[in-house]
Structure 1
Amino acid sequence: MGAYSTLLKSPGVARIIAAQLVARFPGGMLALAFLIHIEHITGSYGSAGLVLAATSIGQAISGPLTSRLMGRLGMRPVLIVTTAVSALAIVTIGLFDSFALWVYVVLALISGLFYPPIQPAVRTIYPKMVNSRQLTPLFSLDASAQEIIWVVGPVVTTLIATQVSPMAAILAAVVLMVGGGAWFIASPELGRVRIPRSKRKFGVVLGRPPVLLGTIVGFLLIGACSAIEAGVVSVFGEGDARAGLVLGIFSVGSLAGGLLFGTRPISQWAMARRMFIVFFGMALAAFVLDFWWLSVSLFIAGIGIAPVLAVIFATVSSSVKFSDTAEAYGWIGTGQLIGAALGSAFAGFMIDGYGSVGAFWIATGFAFFGFLVPLLGHRWHPDLRGRDASPIPDTEPVPVQPS
């Protein structure tokens, strides 16, 4: 833990982690809030899954584009516009309960297309805030800290949705999006670091094997997690707070795993080993659908989640030039969001057709392939033992502006 406390004492690190966590907190609320809200309106988990899929598809399309735009237009202008438009679309979904399903799908797509690229921005800033030896632990700390979003977010969403209304849960997420986004945008670090304009064609960075590997594994990992989320809500029903508690325990496992594995060297087998933990826990969860069994099995599955994400962030950072890092993380986000879209949609239809257990079958399948891909593709995985995770320097100086 000493390494983490030292990191947090570095200038600006604690502030930027806190600001981006608040700005990204709606990520732990909106999927569940939309699921409850749309299922309540339509009476169908399949319809709710379509709305979630539209949101994720919109984010998947925009992720690399808005990330690359930050190198052309600057981080602040892109973040301001995207936050405003996305928040407006989400508010509209929350305030009206009489639209046709296709209207909700279109609004969800717009909210996703303009979802603010906080994650690529902050992960691009990190290498300029700490020395090279601290970067891998910082990625691990970030991946672990973000689990606060998934620990508290589902619980808060479930409590607000059940005790007040689903609309109130959606509006609470918007308040955090706008308030946290304003805090992050105002952070001095966004003024000190400018992402240089990439000289490569759009999409070329995805051809780098570590970026492609991270994108595929992120797609499968988040697809599994999204299916689990839908399955847990289906097991307990939209009015039962136990769903939020189980999902919170799932995220506590991820938080614990991230801190446990955070300072360990990253070998070529690290991603596969950590994904196996996720697969094992999710496979266990499918056997018995009661509160205590799901809590224990999903805690086990969660232990691998933050460590897998930390490995993805570190291997991508070490494999691309600084000018390409934002776009690379945009593609990583796109993979994860496509996974969320398909995981939610498949799980929703399986719940309608086979009951709650169908969602757990989908999750286990995603997690199994998430283990198999890095196992077979370990040669694409950089060996970072004895190396730092800093991006490859560009051939020209990177401007650093005074705050």
Structure 2
Amino acid sequence: MGIYWNLLQTPGVARIIAAQLTARFPFGMLSLAFLIHIEQVYDSYGAAGLVLGAMSIGQAIAGPLTSRLMGRWGMRPVISLTIAICATSIVLMAVIPMPIISLMLVGFVAGISMPPIQPAVRTIYPKLVNSKQLTPLFSLDASAQEIIWVLGPVVATFVAIQVSSVAGILLAATFLVGGGIWFLVLPEVGRVRIPRSKRKLGAVLKRPAVLLSTVVGFMLVAACASVEAGVVATFGHGSTDSGWVLAVFAAGSLVGGLAFGHMQIGPWALAGRMLIPTIGIGLASVFLNFWWLSATLFVAGIGIAPALAVLFGIVSASVKFSDTAEAYGWVGTGQLIGAALGSAIAGFSIDHYGPTSAILAAAGFAALGCLIPALGRRWHPDLRGRDASPIPDTEPVAVVS
């Protein structure tokens, strides 16, 4: 734990982690808050699914686009503009009655204007710490973000039920604006300037490590989404057991990130870390009771934050600094699509074959996330004893002859 304590004592690290977690906290609230709100207003989970789907599509498209714009316009202008548009869209969806098609359109606007906080902060990290501290910092970030997924749904549900669904959405918008402003005023954000990329949009995916991270991130998040659907279906919406089990799942990830995230990254690192969720989720499908699911999903969670830390680390070490934001945008898009597809497949499986099938589907996604980096290990950077910082951007220098 000493290495993480030293990291938090590094100037700027603690405050930028806290600010970006606050700004991103709504991501753990909005899906559930809108689900409750739209179901209450329109008496239809299907309508809620359409709106959330439109929002997810917008987010998936936005990932690489808004990230790349930060290299042209700067971090602060892009993040300020997206916060204003996104927060306005969210508030309009909460307070103005409108037909479902209009909600879908506004939801799409909210999704495509989600502030690129995550790509921004992971572009800033290499400028805050030395090369030996970068991998542990990525691990600390991956572990800390579990707070979003543990507390976010709890806060959203409590406010929506105890106060109103509109209040839950407005609280999420408040976190978005307040946390976003906090992040923007930090001096570290102003000191980092992303050089304008000279490559075409999407060219960064030709980097094998970026493509590998995007695909494996897709599989990992699809597995997590399937697990969530399977657990909720097992205990039903009226039981708090599902919330506790999923909290234990996230706690396993937090523990794993802090315990193993500082380990060096070799060619087998991603496959090895993905093996842990594969085994844990596979065992979870054997018995669907509270204690068994809690124990096995805690084990499964131990590999999640370390796997995410590897994804971020190999991307950072494989691209030029000017391409890092776009690369992380693509990785985020892969994860968003994974969440949508994982939930959809799990929902279909539950309707036709029961909750166990969703857990088995999750194990299948995790197994693919383990197999792909094992087969593609020659494209996996070996960062043992190497600098995980991005490749410096170089330009021709004029010489007087």
TM-score greater than 0.5 by the shorter chain: yes
Q: Cα offset for 1:396?
A: 4.2
Question: What residue number does 2:35 align with?
Answer: 35
Q: CA, structure 1 residues 378+253, in 2 after alignment: closer, same or farther (shift >3 Å)?
A: same
What is the identity, as a one-letter code, of the residue corresponding to 1:214? S
Q: Cα offset for 1:39?
A: 4.4
Could you tell me whether the CA contact under 8 Å between 1:46 and 1:348 is conserved in 2? no
Task: Provide the rounded CA distance (Å) in 2 between the counterparts of 1:314 and 1:233.
Answer: 33
Question: What residue number does 1:264 align with?
Answer: 263
Which string of whole-angstrom CA distances, capped at 9 and with x for unpartnered residues, describes residues 192-219 of structure 1?
A: 1110101111111111000000000011
**1:2-401 pair list within 5 angstroms:** 2-41=2-41, 45=45, 47-95=47-95, 99-396=98-395
What is the identity, as a one-letter code, of the residue corresponding to 1:114? S
Q: CA, structure 1 residues 367+378, in 2 after alignment: closer, same or farther (shift >3 Å)?
A: same
Could you tell me whether the CA contact under 8 Å between 1:267 and 1:384 is conserved in 2? yes
Q: CA, structure 1 residues 299+322, in 2 after alignment: closer, same or farther (shift >3 Å)?
A: same
Q: CA, structure 1 residues 151+221, in 2 after alignment: closer, same or farther (shift >3 Å)?
A: same
Task: Provide the rounded CA distance (Å) in 2 between the counterparts of 1:377 and 1:274.
Answer: 15
Which moves more between the two structures, 44-53 or 241-250? Answer: 44-53
Question: Secondary structure of 1:19's partner?
Answer: helix
Q: CA, structure 1 residues 298+106, in 2 after alignment: closer, same or farther (shift >3 Å)?
A: farther
What is the identity, as a one-letter code, of the residue corresponding to 2:178? G
Task: Provide the rounded CA distance (Å) in 2 between the counterparts of 1:167 and 1:244.
Answer: 22
**Runs in 1 of length 4+ with deviation above 4 angstroms?**
39-47
Which moves more between the two structures, 335-344 or 282-291? Answer: 282-291
Q: CA, structure 1 residues 113+290, in 2 after alignment: closer, same or farther (shift >3 Å)?
A: same
Larger radius of gyration: 2
Task: Provide the rounded CA distance (Å) in 2 between the counterparts of 1:371 and 1:348.
Answer: 23
Which string of whole-angstrom CA distances, capped at 9 and with x for unpartnered residues, describes residues 286-337 of structure 1?
A: 3333322222222111111111110000000000111111111111111111
Question: Secondary structure of 2:387's partner?
Answer: coil
Q: Cα offset for 1:383?
A: 0.8
Instruction: List alignment gaps of at least 5 residues for structure 1.
Output: 398-403
What is the identity, as a one-letter code, of the residue corresponding to 1:226? A
Name the Cα RMSD after superposition.
2.0
Could you tell me whether the CA contact under 8 Å between 1:162 and 1:240 is conserved in 2? no
Question: Secondary structure of 2:381's partner?
Answer: coil
What is the identity, as a one-letter code, of the residue corresponding to 1:75? M
Q: Cα offset for 1:44?
A: 5.5
Task: Provide the rounded CA distance (Å) in 2 between the counterparts of 1:357 and 1:45.
Answer: 22
Q: CA, structure 1 residues 195+146, in 2 after alignment: closer, same or farther (shift >3 Å)?
A: same
Q: CA, structure 1 residues 106+229, in 2 after alignment: closer, same or farther (shift >3 Å)?
A: farther
Question: Secondary structure of 2:172's partner?
Answer: helix
Task: Provide the rounded CA distance (Å) in 2 between the counterparts of 1:292 and 1:133.
Answer: 39
Which moves more between the two structures, 55-64 or 165-174? Answer: 165-174
Task: Provide the rounded CA distance (Å) in 2 between the counterparts of 1:52 and 1:362.
Answer: 22
Which moves more between the two structures, 223-232 or 353-362? Answer: 353-362
Task: Provide the rounded CA distance (Å) in 2 between the counterparts of 1:283 and 1:47.
Answer: 33
Could you tell me whether the CA contact under 8 Å between 1:320 and 1:391 is conserved in 2? yes
Task: Provide the rounded CA distance (Å) in 1 between the counterparts of 2:366 and 2:348.
Answer: 19
Q: Cα offset for 1:361?
A: 3.3
Q: CA, structure 1 residues 211+151, in 2 after alignment: closer, same or farther (shift >3 Å)?
A: same
Instruction: List alignment gaps of at least 5 residues for structure 2.
Output: 397-401
Q: Would you say how many aligned residue pairs link Structure 1 and Structure 2?
A: 396
Which string of whole-angstrom CA distances, capped at 9 and with x for unpartnered residues, describes residues 231-273 of structure 1?
A: 3333333343333222221111100010111211111111111
What is the identity, as a one-letter code, of the residue corresponding to 2:311? I
Q: CA, structure 1 residues 285+327, in 2 after alignment: closer, same or farther (shift >3 Å)?
A: same
Q: CA, structure 1 residues 30+286, in 2 after alignment: closer, same or farther (shift >3 Å)?
A: farther
Task: Provide the rounded CA distance (Å) in 1 between the counterparts of 2:226 and 2:286.
Answer: 15
Q: CA, structure 1 residues 236+166, in 2 after alignment: closer, same or farther (shift >3 Å)?
A: farther
Task: Provide the rounded CA distance (Å) in 1 between the counterparts of 2:355 and 2:47.
Answer: 16
Question: Secondary structure of 1:319's partner?
Answer: coil
Q: Cα offset for 1:358?
A: 4.0
Which moves more between the two structures, 385-394 or 103-112? Answer: 103-112
Task: Provide the rounded CA distance (Å) in 2 between the counterparts of 1:290 and 1:351.
Answer: 16
Which moves more between the two structures, 56-65 or 98-107? Answer: 98-107
Could you tell me whether the CA contact under 8 Å between 1:56 and 1:112 is conserved in 2? yes
Task: Provide the rounded CA distance (Å) in 2 between the counterparts of 1:110 and 1:308.
Answer: 31
Task: Provide the rounded CA distance (Å) in 1 between the counterparts of 2:286 and 2:249.
Answer: 17
Given the two structures, how large is their TM-score scaled by the length of structure 1? 0.92
Question: What residue number does 2:399 align with?
Answer: none
What is the identity, as a one-letter code, of the residue corresponding to 1:362? A
**Identity percentage over the alignment?**
66
What is the identity, as a one-letter code, of the residue corresponding to 2:78? V
Q: CA, structure 1 residues 234+95, in 2 after alignment: closer, same or farther (shift >3 Å)?
A: farther
Question: Secondary structure of 2:85's partner?
Answer: helix
Could you tell me whether the CA contact under 8 Å between 1:132 and 1:388 is conserved in 2? yes
Question: Secondary structure of 1:313's partner?
Answer: helix
Q: CA, structure 1 residues 303+212, in 2 after alignment: closer, same or farther (shift >3 Å)?
A: same
Could you tell me whether the CA contact under 8 Å between 1:36 and 1:238 is conserved in 2? no
Q: CA, structure 1 residues 385+118, in 2 after alignment: closer, same or farther (shift >3 Å)?
A: same
Q: Cα offset for 1:164?
A: 3.2
Question: Secondary structure of 1:196's partner?
Answer: coil
Could you tell me whether the CA contact under 8 Å between 1:155 and 1:241 is conserved in 2? no
Task: Provide the rounded CA distance (Å) in 2 between the counterparts of 1:91 and 1:360.
Answer: 35
Could you tell me whether the CA contact under 8 Å between 1:317 and 1:390 is conserved in 2? yes
Task: Provide the rounded CA distance (Å) in 1 between the counterparts of 2:268 and 2:131.
Answer: 22
Task: Provide the rounded CA distance (Å) in 2 between the counterparts of 1:256 and 1:4.
Answer: 13
